[in-house]
């Protein structure tokens, strides 16, 4: 823990941590040592972790990297982090993310962008950021950068449309978004409640398996959390893929996809076949509607969730002549541009007169997307292999400033999984033409994270 605390303090230029908690880390590590000395250790005893700033941590500032929560200190601890501390993990601090988890590059954070430790020449610079200017992906950019730069052993993250898998792919780390309902959302700042899920980002598939087991589980405080036993994911790692059927969805071969992404996909297929899997082509015909439908459903839910930031209950308050003006001033000053854009889109698609044309239609598409996957699994497919992202990491400031849709296109391979509530894992599988990491994605049956871990282990 001490070595990690020092590494974190020595790597501030990456901007991965928005709050360091060294005293707490050392105290937790001390308590962990005492438990171990008594032979009482839990499964994560003494492991130093970073926590995405979307997870509420008791008495430790939690901002969701938004100006509107700049001085919010929760009086409660999220269920996921409570379970990690129960099992002996140690908190190094809070990690940067896109504001309210809205973004794909970690550039919308009120604390500024995170710098990926990867350089354009394909080397990992660690804490020495000379020559680095790539994004780590988002919204869990701080989590991915901290893991890639060795500033923690693993990190918590959240994924509403790809925010665990895309930054993992950009930084050569592993990230899993479990099935919707696998982890409790209690105490996690809400973005789009029907899509949000917590999960780990770590260096290896095994580390993710160990962390997810602690993070997952039924929680009576979240009515959408599933009342199912959590399997021993680590025990599933050695299962291999012999006898499994892996689907390759033809709709994911999108126009304009760089050749190295196609080559990576073929390589992944070859590895799985060599390990004994049967690989078949499958069709998920509604894939092309997933991205536009996501960008209706997610902002709609966000606009409703963000209504609570009114200058009264949490964080920032900017006074006005009356209460209406106070609301206006607080929200005008507290929210960033991307968040305001989502609130406007969300409010529009939910308004009377447009609700049927947009929101209801997007929900119908969501059902069709879910059905595509169900049919595929009913036909005997055990998991689906796709690229995790349509490209490798890009430069800070390079994408999305003139046209937000350019940024949204990053999510083309990941949002379908959230829309269908399925588990998805991103695993490093190769490099782009510049030597930057690329990831493959495996999508599983509901609550079958075990098959994903076993198959990802074959690819890693
Ligand atoms: N990039 C997507 C968005 O901006 C997904 C973000 C996420 O998964 N939290 O909505």
pLDDT digits (tens, 9 = 90+) for 188-222: 999 999 999 999 999 999 999 999 999 999 999 99
For residue range 384-406, list pLDDT tens digits in order. Answer: 999 999 999 999 999 998 899 99
The pLDDT score that the predictor gives to residue 414 is 98
Residue 127: pLDDT band (50, 70, 90) is confident
Annotated catalytic residue, options 52, 94, 177, 399: 52
- Whole-structure pTM value: 0.97
Compute the average pLDDT of residues 417-435.
Answer: 96
For residue range 303-352, list pLDDT tens digits in order. Answer: 999 999 999 988 899 999 999 999 999 999 999 999 999 999 999 999 99
Dist. CA 325 → ligand 1 center (Å): 30
Q: Is 52 a catalytic residue?
A: yes
Ligand 1 close to Cβ of residue 101 (< 6 A)? yes
Ligand 1 close to Cβ of residue 160 (< 6 A)? yes
Ligand 1 close to Cβ of residue 416 (< 6 A)? no
- Which residues on neighbouring strands pair with residue 426, listed in sequence order? 175, 441
Mutate to test the pocket of ligand 1, among 54, 411, 414 (most ligand atoms within 8 A of CB): 411
The pLDDT score that the predictor gives to residue 401 is 86
Mutate to test the pocket of ligand 1, among 55, 98, 139 (most ligand atoms within 8 A of CB): 139
Closest Cα to atom 10 of ligand 1? 102
124 in Cβ contact with 155 (< 8 Å): no
Q: Which CATH number fits domain 1-460: 3.70.10.10, 3.40.50.12780, 3.90.1300.10, 3.40.50.300?
A: 3.90.1300.10
Residue 292: pLDDT band (50, 70, 90) is very high
Ligand 1 close to Cβ of residue 137 (< 6 A)? no
For residue 175, pLDDT over 90 is answered with yes
Compute the average pLDDT of residues 16-23.
Answer: 98
For 358, the token pair is 């947009």
User: What percentage of residues in the chain have a pLDDT greater than 90?
Assistant: 94
Omega of the bond leading into 139 within 30 degrees of 0 (cis): yes
The pLDDT score that the predictor gives to residue 130 is 84
Average predicted confidence (pLDDT) for the chain: 96
The pLDDT score that the predictor gives to residue 224 is 98
The pLDDT score that the predictor gives to residue 128 is 83
Q: Is 139 a catalytic residue?
A: yes
Dist. CA 380 → ligand 1 center (Å): 31
Ligand 1 close to Cβ of residue 63 (< 6 A)? no
The pLDDT score that the predictor gives to residue 263 is 96
Sign of CA dihedral 57, 59, 60, 66: positive
Compute the average pLDDT of residues 103-120.
Answer: 96
For residue 369, pLDDT over 90 is answered with yes
Domain locations in the chain? 1-460
For residue 157, pLDDT over 90 is answered with yes
The pLDDT score that the predictor gives to residue 402 is 86
Ligand 1 close to Cβ of residue 139 (< 6 A)? yes
Over the chain, what HEC string results? CHHHHHHHHCCHHHCCEEEECHHHHHHHHHHHHHHHHCCCCCCCCCCEEEEECCECECCECCCCCCHHHCCCCCCCCCHHHHHHHHCCCEEEEEECCCHHHCCCCCCCCCCCCCCCCECCCCCECCCCCCCCCECCCCCCHHHHHHHHCCCCCEEEEEECCCCCHHHHHHHCCEEEECCCCCECCCCECCCCCCCCEEEEEECCHHHHHHHHHHHECCCCCCCCCCCCCCCCHHHHHHHCCCCCEEEEEHHHCCCCCCHHHHHHHHHHHHHHHHCCCEEEEECCCCHHHHHHHHHHHHHHHHHHHHHHCCCCCCCCCCCCCCHHHHHHHHHHHHCCHHHHHHHHHHHHHHCCCCCHHHHHHHHHHHHHHHHHHHHHHHCCCCEEEEECCCCCCCECCCCCCCCHHHHHHHHCCCHHHHHHCCCEEEEEEEECCCCCEEEEEEEECCCCHHHHHHHHHHHC
For residue 14, pLDDT over 90 is answered with yes
Rounded distance, CA 79 to CA 85, Å?
10
The pLDDT score that the predictor gives to residue 21 is 98
Work out which ligand 1 atom sits closest to the CA atom of 159: 8
Q: Is 288 a catalytic residue?
A: no
């Amino acid at each position: 823990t001490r070595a990690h605390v020092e590494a974190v303090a020595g790597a501030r230029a990456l901007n991965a941590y928005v709050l360091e908690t060294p005293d707490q880390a050392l105290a937790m590590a001390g308590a962990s040592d005492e438990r171990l000395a008594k032979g009482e250790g839990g499964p994560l005893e003494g492991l130093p972790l970073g926590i995405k700033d979307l997870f509420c941590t008791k008495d430790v500032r939690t901002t969701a990297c938004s100006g509107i929560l700049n001085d919010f200190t929760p009086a409660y601890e999220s269920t996921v982090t409570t379970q990690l501390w129960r099992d002996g993990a140690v908190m190094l601090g809070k990690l940067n993310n896109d504001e309210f988890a809205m973004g794909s590059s970690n550039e919308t954070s009120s604390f500024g962008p995170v710098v990926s430790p990867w350089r354009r020449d394909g080397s990992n610079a660690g804490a020495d950021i000379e020559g680095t200017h790539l994004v780590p992906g988002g919204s869990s950019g701080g989590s991915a950068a901290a893991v890639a730069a060795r500033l923690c052993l693993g990190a918590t993250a959240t994924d509403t449309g790809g925010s665990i898998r895309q930054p993992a792919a950009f930084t050569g780390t592993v990230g899993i978004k479990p099935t919707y309902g696998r982890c409790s959302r209690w105490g996690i700042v809400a973005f789009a409640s029907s899509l949000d899920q917590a999960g780990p980002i770590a260096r290896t598939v095994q580390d993710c398996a160990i962390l997810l087991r602690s993070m997952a589980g039924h929680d009576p405080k979240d009515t959408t959390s599933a009342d199912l036993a959590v399997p021993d994911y680590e025990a599933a790692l050695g299962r291999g893929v012999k006898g499994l059927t892996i689907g390759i969805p033809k709709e994911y071969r999108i126009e304009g996809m760089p050749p190295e992404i196609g080559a990576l996909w073929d390589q992944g297929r070859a590895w799985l076949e060599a390990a004994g899997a049967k690989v078949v082509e499958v069709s998920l015909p509604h894939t092309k509607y997933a991205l536009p439908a996501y960008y209706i459903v997610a902002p709609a839910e966000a606009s409703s969730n963000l209504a609570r930031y009114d200058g009264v209950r949490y964080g920032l308050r900017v006074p006005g002549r009356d209460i209406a003006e106070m609301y206006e001033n607080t929200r005008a000053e507290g929210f960033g541009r991307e968040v305001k854009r989502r609130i406007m889109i969300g409010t529009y698609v939910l308004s009377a007169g447009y609700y049927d044309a947009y929101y209801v239609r997007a929900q119908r598409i969501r059902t069709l997307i879910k059905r595509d996957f169900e049919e595929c699994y009913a036909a005997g497919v055990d998991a689906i292999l796709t690229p995790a992202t349509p490209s490798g990491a890009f430069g800070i400031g390079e994408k999305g400033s003139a046209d937000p849709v350019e940024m949204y296109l990053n999510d083309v391979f990941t949002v379908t999984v959230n829309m269908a509530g399925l588990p998805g894992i991103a695993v490093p599988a190769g490099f782009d033409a510049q030597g930057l990491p690329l990831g493959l994605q495996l999508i599983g049956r509901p609550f079958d994270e075990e098959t994903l871990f076993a198959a990802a282990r074959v690819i890693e």
